[in-house]
Amino acid sequence: MRVIAHLQARADTAYDNTYHHKLRGRIWNALDGTEYDEIHDEDRPKGFTYSNPFPPGDMREGDQRTLLVASPHEELLANVAADLKDDRELNIGEMPFHVDSVNGLATDVGEPGTSGTIETGTGVLVRIPPWRFEEYGIDTDHDEAEFWRPEHTMEPFRNQIENNLDKKHDLFCPDYLPGPSKTDGDLFDGADLIKTFSIPVTVTQGQRETWVLSKWRFDYTVRDDHHRRHLNLALDTGIGERNSLGFGFVNITEKEDQRSGRRERVDA
């Protein structure tokens, strides 16, 4: 489930690639006083993620941008939507917007037999814990979690993504249904790395770190209802870590129902 907000720039503005902390603050403010406010300080996936204001790039006053917020919790999204409607001024760091409209948006990878492509709209954060360095043949001069990079190969990336989605499945899906690691087959048919990059990230107020992120294009074919649930969970919660900072947000960009041969481009 998603909320889609159409934004209008209120001034000529340079695009701020370090928007994450400011936008997260607005969403937590929207959840203040709700049952979701209680998870703010818990060390667990928060159950929401969001896109960047897209398309990225410097803006002139009046330019249009779009923001998506995703979650498996309909009520959480309702609170975010209500906040954006009540206060139409949205300041994301140095980027001032007016919220023109807010609507709900359903997303689904499709019924079993559907093939498609999912792309990461924001960077994916994957960190390899030090107790797995030897298993993956990683030789480092530190004992802190290692940011995933291409030289570490795909195995640790796939394992960390699946382990993370397992944790979200335990939190947000019924107990009696199997998570990704308890079913046969991979989450994705294939993965194309678009790029890796590093950016400064304000983790908490006054704490800024440089993180290594990656952008991907994943192909999938829905095997069964369990696989469909796992892929839709990735759409609702993001993949990888720190999704409540906006990392790991994914979109379906194309899907095809193999039974009907119908192919469609998907914008969100």
Residue recorded with tokens 């300080």: 41
Please classify residue 88 by burial: count the beta carbons closer than 10 Å to its beta carbon, then call 0-12 exposed, 13-18 middle and 19+ buried: middle
Q: Give the alpha-carbon dihedral of 61, 62, 65, 67, to 10 degrees.
A: 90
Give the position of tokens 């979200």. Answer: 168
Question: Any catalytic annotation for residue 143?
Answer: no
As a whole number of angstroms, the distance between CA 72 and CA 172 comes to 7
Neighbours of 37 (CB within 10 A): 14
* In contact, 5 and 97? CB cutoff 8 Å: no
Which of 41, 86, 141, 143 is catalytic? The answer is 41
Amino acid at site 68: L
**Catalytic site residues?**
41
